[in-house]
Structure 1
Amino acid sequence: MAEALKIRVEPRDPAKNKGTGTRVVRRLRKEGRIPAVIYGHKQEVVPISLSKDDVWHMIKAASHLAELDLGGKSETVLVRDVQWDNLGREILHLDFARVSADEQIETEVKIELRGHASGVDEGGLLEHLVHTLAVKCPANAIPDSIRVDVSGVGLDQGIHVRDLKLPPNVVADADGDLLILHVVTPRSAEESTGADGADAATQPEVIKPERKEKDKED
């Protein structure tokens, strides 16, 4: 289970036009801070900012929960949304949703593959198709990841959602038939060439119009 990171945040004051707007956001980023909001539980939305270093630490730790210290008041929150720039390099904004420790929540958890698939030794290719899994669980039971042992996956075999061994109190919120990964037989070079040749053979022949001869001058 991922632990809630303790992060100190600062309030923003939109009522005085000092906490929102493009200029304010730019100023915050120059100061090494990122704007965010806290919402939920039928309470008011609170605009805040937090250190860029704290945000990156939270992202790298793949932490879903955070305990925010706002002027001595503690808020347990779930990271609901992270807004990135167009290049996917810089974090522009975060949304935090208030949660209780035992509150049932829905979130997505990354899938990590462990081991070496036996089918690869038989000449197969391991294809990882689904990288995150939607789950339902108490807020204090969110796993940091879903670890999948692939060592028993042979050639032309796979693992579906129904095959996953999930932690206690964690339920998959996805179709049980959803394929997470499989080991497939790669097409040989000869098969590829043959298929290409067959495709070429079925193409209609292009007949160009004959060029008219120019009349000879007398």
Structure 2
Amino acid sequence: MEKSILKATEREELRKNKVKKLRAQGLIPCVIYGNNKENTLIYVKSNEYDKSVRSEFLKNTIIKLDIEGKKPHSEFVVTYDLQRNVVSRDITHIDFLRISEDKDVKLKVPVHFNGIAPGTKKGGVLIKKMDYVLVQCLPSKLPATIEIDLTSLEVGEFISVKDIPQEDYTILSHPDNSIVRVAEPRKAVEETSTEESEEEAEGEGEEGATEQAEGSSEEASS
């Protein structure tokens, strides 16, 4: 998988007011952990991070961090977790996970749908059930996306995790999980209504969890 290079600067633990000043300058506080090494506190430029990963759906991009500080060095990492401001959606904190070229990683890989399902031309409704799958493999074999071909999907048919060819990686998501299906119009309306209700409930919970996570992160840095 293609690697990106990102400049970073070592930092010390910061109090809450200094964290806010850092963010106001377009800098994101981060932590690097994993591989049985001590955590490293750094910050990166927000715009440079965005260029490195291209989009939120490519968080599994392997990044080479060139770290400036008392002992300049480089580390290979992936983005393990992002925290965002609930209102602005700006990134407020990044957790980077160290990786080794000879050790497997477990990461969420986004699903990308290709083509048009024939069933949608016969009145069926395409329902996407999964946005990503959990993959285990060596970093060099990590796919940017999992490609799903829709061109043979008829009304009433679906594609499950077990239908995905697994070559250089292992998919850890449950094999019976449905990724996408073409439902009859009436069933699609019922299913979509149920999913929207569930997403609204989950969204309310996620906002609260995000606020708490951001607060916890800032307190940890105080």
Q: TM-score range by the shorter chain?
A: 0.7 to 0.9
**What is the match of residue 181 of structure 2?**
182
CA distance in 1, matches of 2:5, 2:81: 18
Residues 65, 75 of structure 2: 8 Å contact kept? yes
Residues 4, 53 of structure 2: 8 Å contact kept? no
Aligned-pair CA distance for 1:88: 5.9
- Residues 192-218 of structure 1 show CA distances to partners (whole Å, capped at 9, x for unaligned) of 9xxxxxxxxxxxxxxxxxxxxxxxxxx
Structure having greater relative contact order (Cα 8 Å, sep ≥ 6)? 2
**What is the match of residue 103 of structure 2?**
103
Identity of aligned residues (%): 27
Which 4+ residue blocks in structure 1 deviate beyond 2 angstroms? 58-61
Counterpart of 2:120 in 1: which secondary structure?
Answer: helix
- Residues 50-104 of structure 1 show CA distances to partners (whole Å, capped at 9, x for unaligned) of 0011122234341421100012411001211111111361100001111111210
Q: How does 1:22-33 map to 2 (within 5 A)?
A: 22-33=16-27
Aligned-pair CA distance for 1:185: 0.7
**What is the match of residue 33 of structure 2?**
39
TM-score by length of 1: 0.79
| Structure 1: 5+ residue stretches without partners | 15-19, 193-218
Counterpart of 1:187 in 2: which secondary structure?
Answer: helix
Bigger Rg, structure 1 or 2: 1
Residues 35, 99 of structure 2: 8 Å contact kept? yes
Counting matched residue pairs gives: 182
- Give the aligned residue type for 1:4: K
CA distance in 2, matches of 1:13, 1:89: 25
Instruction: Say whether 1:5 aligns with 2:4.
Output: yes
Greater helix share, 1 or 2? 2
**What is the match of residue 171 of structure 2?**
172
Residues 141, 169 of structure 1: 8 Å contact kept? yes
- Residues 141-191 of structure 1 show CA distances to partners (whole Å, capped at 9, x for unaligned) of 11110110100001100100011124x321110111110010011129xxx
- Give the aligned residue type for 2:17: R
Instruction: Say whether 1:56 aligns with 2:55.
Output: no
**Shift in CA distance, 13/187, structure 1 to aligned 2, threshold 3 Å:** closer
**Shift in CA distance, 133/88, structure 1 to aligned 2, threshold 3 Å:** farther
CA distance in 1, matches of 2:134, 2:87: 26
Aligned-pair CA distance for 1:27: 1.1
TM-score by length of 2: 0.78
